[in-house]
Copies of this chain bind each other. A is one copy, B any other.
Amino acid sequence: MTDTAATLASVPGVAARDAATQGFVFNHTMLRIKDPRASLDFYTRVLGFSLVRRNDFPEAAFSLYFLALVDPARIPDDEAERKAWVARLQGVLELTHNHGTEAQDGPVYHDGNSEPRGFGHICVSVPDVRAACARFEQLGVPFQKRLTDGRMKEIAFIKDPDGYWVEIIQPTPLD
């Protein structure tokens, strides 16, 4: 273990990994959405996600859409195989559509960033944050925070169709 890992491991509350958690994967984050057509457009066209699984529950009047940033050629054709493959991925976004919300006027869901607060945002890292933001501007995507706003010039926040914040970062420092 490096010195830095040791420092992080000594933060109050942090415990060593229990062998019983081997194979655990942070698989997905679930957000409720008003209109699947608008959200699927945003996450596939603007952010490059692929729809990897859809589950419809007509008797309970909801549908689930699972999206991931993967090569669509990798999506297994067999349904059982695909379900297992999706459950082993990291970084899946699950969108829940309660049927009928798309016909309501105005926003349906709460983005978590005004009271009562809780969930804050999801984040997509990109190779070139300036190029990504220029493309979002061209596509007419709404911004919560442009790179030029505020003190943190290296990060931006765009908004999805329900108003959920999507942070955009790049791994390396800006020139």
CB distance from A64 to the nearest CB of B (A): 10
Q: How far is the CA of A99 from the CA of B31 in the complex (A)?
A: 27
Residues of B within 8 A of A83 (CB): 171
Interface flag for A28 (CB, 8 Å): yes
Residues on B with C-beta less than 8 A from A15 are 41, 44-45
Question: Considering only CB atoms and an 8 Å cut-off, how many residues of chain A contact the other chain?
Answer: 95
Please encode chain A, from 147 to 175, with 1 for each CB lying within 8 Å of some chain B CB and 0 for all others. Answer: 00000000000000010100101111100
A4 and B91 form a contact (CB under 8 A): no
A interface SS class: mixed
Closest residue of chain B to A5, judged by CB?
B75
How far is A8 from B118 in the complex, measured between Cα atoms in Å?
32
Q: Which residue numbers of A lie inside 8 Å of B, CB to CB?
A: 1-5, 8-9, 11-18, 20-32, 36-41, 44-45, 47-54, 65, 68-69, 72-73, 75-80, 82-85, 87-94, 96, 109-112, 116-127, 131-132, 135, 162, 164, 167, 169-173
23 contacts between A and B (CB under 8 A): A4-B82, A5-B75, A14-B41, A17-B50, A20-B131, A21-B69, A23-B127, A24-B48, A25-B69, A25-B126, A26-B49, A26-B93, A26-B124, A29-B122, A30-B119, A31-B120, A80-B173, A87-B169, A87-B170, A87-B171, A110-B118, A112-B118, A116-B116
Q: Which 4 A-B pairs have the closest CB atoms?
A: A21-B48, A13-B40, A90-B91, A119-B119
